[in-house]
């Protein structure tokens, strides 16, 4: 049975947590609708809160998922789920992990490049916008993948700066990839794809933006990145959600030394790398690179231990 994760999510009352629970209980992937219904029945015996769909609901969900994939492919939007070995490892490790992604563009940039999430307010000051562009440019020029949310303000400036630095940038969307938000940044989205970047979303085509999806998007922005860098933000800005996710996910956090309530709060955190000059930017790059080396050394040590045991 193809696209099992998407099929599950097309069933009424089934969300990410239920999908993960069902997958965990699967000894093998279901071959047909009856197999899937049996998995639901067995899971229901263990957890009475799990919704038990009818066979007809499962059949309709399978048809809906098939049509979503078919129509996505027509516009070069691809699908990958958590059962696929190429699903980003960085996202498998976070709390409330996404179970599927839709993407358009160069998927390889998701896992094969060092990523920094540059964020900030939609209503940033001129200085904040300039810093978002400069940081996007500097990190893009040095072959980091710049991650942001394609929003008006700091996000779009970070994407533009990265592109002007001949870098690769990745946009995480709060809507289906065919429903670019804001609409005015459609051209920027196309520019990202044309320059070897990528658009990703956990929402299927046809899904319009909603308030809660901005927050859900933020956990993916930070989860997929090594570091989250705040350009400028007030305390009630959505960017602060991303910072909170970054902290809980154990990411490197950084912020520009600029007069804004959000920045002032983050600067008080001992873990924060404060950006005030070029030296600070280089220090942040070193910290990101050291994280990569530490991870590589850890993998090498594990491999050595395994060889010794054999």
Q: Does the pLDDT of residue 300 top 70, yes or no?
A: no
64 and 210 in a single domain? The answer is no
State pLDDT tens for residues 151-169.
Answer: 999 999 999 999 999 999 9
Phi/psi class of residue 168: alpha, beta or left (left: φ > 0; alpha: ψ in -120 to 50)? beta
Report residue 4 CA to chain centroid gap: 21
The angle, 0 to 180 degrees and rounded to 10, between the axes of the packed helices 186-194 and 154-164 is 30
- Residue 300 placed within a domain: no
- Band (pLDDT 50/70/90 cuts) for residue 308 is very low
- Residue 92 placed within a domain: no
172 and 117 in a single domain? The answer is yes
Q: Does the pLDDT of residue 190 top 50, yes or no?
A: yes
Q: Which distant-in-sequence residues (6+ apart) come within 8 Å of 294 by Cβ?
A: none
In the chain, the percentage of residues whose pLDDT exceeds 70 is 94
200 and 251 in a single domain? The answer is yes
Please tell me what DSSP assigns to residue 78. E
Mean pLDDT of 255-267: 97
109 and 257 in a single domain? The answer is yes
State pLDDT tens for residues 80-114.
Answer: 999 999 999 999 999 999 999 999 999 999 887 79
CB 283 within 8 A of CB 275: no
Distance in Å from the first CA to the final CA of the chain: 38
Task: Report which secondary-structure segment, H or E, holds 119.
Answer: strand 115-119
The whole-number pLDDT of residue 307 equals 46
Q: Does the pLDDT of residue 310 top 70, yes or no?
A: no
Domain's final residue, options 74, 94, 124:
74
Mean pLDDT of 105-128: 94
CB 220 within 8 A of CB 91: yes
Please state the domain count of the chain.
2
59 and 190 in a single domain? The answer is no
- Residue 41 placed within a domain: yes
CB 106 within 8 A of CB 135: no
Q: Does the pLDDT of residue 38 top 50, yes or no?
A: yes
Measured on CA atoms in the order 127, 130, 131, 132, is the torsion positive or negative? positive
R_g (Cα) of the chain, nearest Å: 21
3-state SS string for 220-286 = HHHHCCCEEEECCCCCCCCHHHHHHHHHHCCCEEEEECCCCHHHHHHHCCCCCEEECCHHHHHHHHH
225 and 161 in a single domain? The answer is yes
Average pLDDT, the chain: 93
CB 189 within 8 A of CB 151: no
The whole-number pLDDT of residue 31 equals 80
The whole-number pLDDT of residue 114 equals 92
What is the C-alpha to C-alpha distance for residues 273 and 275, in angstroms, rounded to an integer?
A: 6
Q: Does the pLDDT of residue 16 top 50, yes or no?
A: yes
State pLDDT tens for residues 195-215.
Answer: 999 999 999 999 999 999 999
The whole-number pLDDT of residue 292 equals 62
The angle, 0 to 180 degrees and rounded to 10, between the axes of the packed helices 16-25 and 33-46 is 100
The whole-number pLDDT of residue 293 equals 55
Structure tokens of 202? 């956990």
The whole-number pLDDT of residue 26 equals 85
Domain containing 18: what range?
A: 4-74
């Amino acid at each position: 049975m193809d696209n099992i994760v998407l099929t599950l999510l097309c069933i009424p009352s089934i969300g990410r947590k239920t999908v993960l629970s069902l997958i965990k209980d699967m000894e093998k992937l279901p071959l047909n609708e009856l197999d899937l219904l049996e998995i639901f029945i067995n899971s229901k015996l263990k957890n009475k809160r799990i919704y038990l769909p009818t066979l007809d609901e499962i059949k309709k969900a399978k048809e809906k998922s098939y049509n979503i994939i078919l129509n996505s492919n027509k516009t070069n939007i691809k699908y990958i789920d958590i059962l696929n070995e190429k699903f980003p490892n960085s996202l498998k490790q976070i709390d409330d992990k996404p179970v599927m992604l839709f993407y358009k563009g160069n998927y390889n940039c998701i896992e094969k490049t060092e990523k920094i999430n540059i964020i900030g307010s939609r209503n940033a000051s001129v200085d904040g916008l300039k810093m978002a562009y400069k940081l996007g440019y500097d990190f893009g020029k040095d072959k980091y993948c710049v991650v942001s949310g394609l929003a008006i303000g700091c996000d779009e400036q970070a994407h533009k700066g990265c592109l002007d630095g001949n870098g690769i940038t990745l946009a995480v969307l709060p809507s289906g990839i065919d429903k670019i938000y804001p609409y005015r940044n459609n051209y920027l989205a196309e520019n990202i794809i044309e320059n070897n970047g990528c658009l990703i979303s956990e929402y299927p085509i046809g899904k319009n933006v909603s308030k809660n999806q901005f927050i859900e998007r933020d956990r993916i922005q930070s989860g997929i990145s090594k570091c989250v860098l705040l350009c400028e933000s007030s305390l009630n800005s959505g960017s602060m959600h991303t910072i909170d996710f970054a902290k809980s996910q154990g990411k490197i956090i950084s912020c520009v030394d600029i007069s804004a309530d959000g920045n002032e709060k983050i600067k008080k955190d001992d873990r924060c790398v404060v950006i005030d000059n070029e030296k600070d930017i280089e220090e942040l790059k070193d910290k990101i690179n050291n994280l990569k080396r530490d991870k590589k050394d850890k993998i090498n040590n594990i491999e050595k231990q395994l060889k010794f045991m054999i």
